[in-house]
Homo-oligomer: A and B are copies of this chain.
């Protein structure tokens, strides 16, 4: 796994859910490296990548080195006009993701954007309206659950009752700053949206999913720029929030840009899930100080205390489910309501956050 989260693009087992040609998709807007993870997921599930568009030819060239089958086109319209294309996957600058999604849905295609899906509640409202009007899907790559095998397995264990009723989810989302490799927009709050909106969105999605909450209240939120004020005054290098869901379960998460240099991966992401009959810990990208292995899951309940190494064992069912959802107009991968609720709550947390000096 790379040292920079910005290029984190997991590869899994190819488990196509459709025949070749059943699910043609295109890629547009390559601003964030997550587009590689999104593309991998779609290809492994049987999607057929046809077109790629970005105004920056260098980004297109780099993308085509990984995916030579993607034919470059010279405008977004070329993609939107192609009736065969079912979905447009994109990783635009965060503040552009909402408006791009509306263009895509207006063209009768489903949209699959990198997180965070919006940078304002107005954008969310516009997207909700467009979904209702067009009947299209606005799907989000909440990669820190969907593209992490131990996180997927944690959900399976919970749904099988392994830890009883879920009472709490704690999420830690440290990331390596890699400031010299970041584009300008990464440091402009109007474009990246704030740390709780951006990398916090993963955390809230996980909380809603693991607890089965369909809504939540943000009970506390804070952000800080502890260590980068001079170089990057608009960066928030630390954020935290607490939520209480409509199931009664609570959430605390911390996100930050303080991954130290000696960690061999981009962040020691963790999820700690407490239930009435046990608990689960996911050491997502590294079991620091021990094996170096990723996807380690600790399960302790009333019957057993176990450590599972899950890398390569679970796969990423989200992508195949999403493709089938698009073809069949179902909601098995993730409901639109859940997708939007996670987005809404991270925007509310950001708005509500006190600034720590």
Contacts and interface: CB of A to CB of B under 8 A. Distances in A.
Interface of A: 163, 165, 167-168, 170, 172, 174, 219-220, 222, 224, 226-227, 238, 240, 242, 244, 248, 250, 252, 254, 256, 258, 260-264, 268, 272, 274-279, 281, 288-290, 298-307, 354, 356-357
From A261, A277, A305, residue with most partner B Cβ within 10 Å? A305
Given A279-B258, A305-B288, A307-B289, A222 B238 contact: no
A224 B248 CA distance: 9
Contact of A298 (B226, B276, B288, B356): B288
Q: Which 4 A-B pairs have the closest CB atoms?
A: A289-B307, A220-B220, A289-B298, A261-B302
Given A238-B168, A262-B302, A262-B304, A226 B289 contact: no
A24 to B, nearest CB: 44
Contact of A222 (B219, B278, B354, B356): B219
A305 B302 CA distance: 33
| Copies of this chain held together in the complex | 2
Contacts of A275: 258
B220 A262 contact: no
A288 B307 CA distance: 8
Contacts of A304: 262
Contact of A289 (B238, B288, B306): B306
Contacts of A170: 170, 172, 254
B248 A305 contact: no
A213 B238 CA distance: 18
A226 B164 CA distance: 12
15 contacts: A174-B274, A226-B248, A244-B356, A248-B357, A258-B274, A258-B276, A260-B278, A260-B300, A262-B302, A262-B303, A268-B279, A281-B288, A288-B298, A289-B300, A289-B305
A17 B212 CA distance: 56
Nearest to A303: B262
Contacts of A306: 289
Nearest to A256: B274
A264 B305 contact: yes
A254 B299 CA distance: 19
Given A220-B219, A242-B242, A301 B254 contact: no
A263 B305 contact: yes
